[in-house]
DNA sequence: GACCAGATGTACT
DNA sequence: GTACATCTGGTCT
């Protein structure tokens, strides 16, 4: 049996590799949300915690296209204390509280004044799994949902506005190649109120249970 | 797989 | 003051 993509992408990096994970540059974020969302798949979300470093490989994200997107918090130019961070420059974290008990983390994209964002919906724990387990209410390490991701990495509103290029929490590229053939494009989740926009295929996720493309091919494609 | 309670911040009247 | 939210976990079928 060839390994699944999940198995390949969950492979733990070495301590040395983790210590060397550098933040993606500002320029990565200063593009439209859809492009950033696609490129975030397979990237590493690194979180510095009091008891160590936790690293998650992103497997599911959603793009929110700003003022023209009825599902976005900034639809129609809405600007409030809550979504203020989305109006700033790309590369910052937008964390909001919802359903009375959950946090969701977004990456702000585009230049200042263009309020787009990418919601981080899920990932695979690859390093510091015990730290993640400790923080999950359920004592598990699964991070297949935006609120689970925040809980596992202890991200809450205190992290709202954090600069992703300045430490604490950041995104990194460890060179793992994600071939387009394993990316699925689906309608977004939980936004039925947004009418027709609920069907826009702006949710991107990896086909984790498909068998992984061979190493040789992956290397050729890099 | 479907269904539902949970608990409160936020936007808007 | 009121309605509802970029959801999760547990229960029931």
Model confidence pLDDT, tens digit, residues A84-137: 999 999 999 999 999 999 999 999 999 999 999 999 999 999 999 999 999 998
Mean of the pLDDT values across residues A22-39?
Answer: 98
User: How many Å apart are A147 CA and B2 C1'?
Assistant: 21
Is A64's CB less than 7 Å from nucleic acid strand C?
yes
d(CA A185, CA A172): 23
> pLDDT band at residue A221, thresholds of 50, 70 and 90?
very low
Q: Are A204 and A62 spatial neighbours (Cβ–Cβ below 8 Å)? A: yes
Phi (first) and psi of residue A71, to 5 degrees: -90, -10
d(CA A179, CA A196): 30
User: How many Å apart are A144 CA and B4 C1'?
Assistant: 21
Is A148's CB less than 7 Å from nucleic acid strand C?
yes
Mean of the pLDDT values across residues A71-94?
Answer: 97
A63, HSE (Cβ side, Cα atoms, 13 Å): 23
* pLDDT at A218 exceeding the cut of 70: no
Q: Are A6 and A209 spatial neighbours (Cβ–Cβ below 8 Å)? A: yes
pLDDT confidence of residue A141: 96
pLDDT confidence of residue A185: 95
pLDDT confidence of residue A220: 46
Mean of the pLDDT values across residues A172-179?
Answer: 94
3-state helix, strand, coil in chain A (%, to 5): 30, 30, 40
How much is the pTM? 0.94
Mean of the pLDDT values across residues A204-222?
Answer: 72
d(CA A173, CA A61): 16
Q: Are A166 and A93 spatial neighbours (Cβ–Cβ below 8 Å)? A: no
d(CA A27, CA A56): 22
Is A78's CB less than 7 Å from nucleic acid strand B?
yes
For chain A, what's the residue count? 222
Nearest nucleotide to A160 by CA–C1' distance?
Answer: B9
Mean of the pLDDT values across residues A29-41?
Answer: 98
* pLDDT at A222 exceeding the cut of 60: no
Closest residue to B7 by CA to C1' distance?
Answer: A100
pLDDT, mean over chain A: 94
Q: What SS3 state is found at A157? A: helix
Is A119's CB less than 7 Å from nucleic acid strand C?
yes
Alpha helix ranges (H) inside chain A: 5-10, 15-19, 26-29, 33-40, 129-135, 146-152, 215-221
Is A67's CB less than 7 Å from nucleic acid strand C?
no
pLDDT confidence of residue A216: 53
Is A158's CB less than 7 Å from nucleic acid strand B?
no
Cβ burial of A136 (10 Å; 0-12, 13-18, 19+) is: middle
Is A175's CB less than 7 Å from nucleic acid strand C?
no
Per-residue pLDDT tens digits for A3-24? 999 999 999 999 999 999 999 9
DSSP line for A102-152 = EEEEEEEESSTT--EEEEEEEEEEEE-HHHHHHHSTTS---B-SHHHHHHH
For A159, the token pair is 């992290």
Q: Are A168 and A91 spatial neighbours (Cβ–Cβ below 8 Å)? A: no
User: How many Å apart are A95 CA and C1 C1'?
Assistant: 27
Bridge partners (DSSP) listed for residue A108: A117
């Amino acid at each position: 049996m060839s390994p699944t993509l999940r198995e390949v992408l969950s492979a733990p990096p070495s301590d040395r590799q983790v210590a060397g994970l550098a933040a993606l540059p500002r320029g990565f974020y200063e593009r439209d949300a859809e492009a950033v969302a696609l490129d975030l798949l397979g990237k590493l979300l690194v979180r510095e915690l009091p008891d160590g470093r936790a690293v998650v490989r992103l497997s599911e994200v959603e793009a929110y296209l700003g003022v023209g997107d009825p599902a976005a918090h900034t639809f129609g130019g809405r600007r409030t204390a809550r979504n203020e961070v989305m109006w700033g420059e790309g590369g910052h974290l937008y964390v909001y509280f919802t359903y009375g008990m959950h946090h969701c983390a977004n990456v702000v994209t585009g230049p200042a004044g263009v309020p787009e964002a990418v919601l981080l919906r899920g990932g695979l724990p690859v390093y510091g799994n015990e730290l993640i387990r400790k923080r999950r209410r359920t004592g598990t390490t699964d991070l297949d949902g935006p609120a689970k991701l925040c809980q596992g990495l202890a991200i809450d509103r205190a992290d709202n506005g954090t600069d992703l290029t300045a430490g604490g929490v950041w995104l990194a590229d460890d060179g793992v190649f994600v071939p387009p053939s394993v990316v699925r494009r689906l309608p977004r989740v939980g936004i039925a109120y947004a009418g027709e926009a609920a069907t826009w295929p702006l949710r991107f996720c990896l086909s984790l249970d498909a068998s992984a493309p061979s190493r040789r091919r992956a290397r050729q494609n890099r």
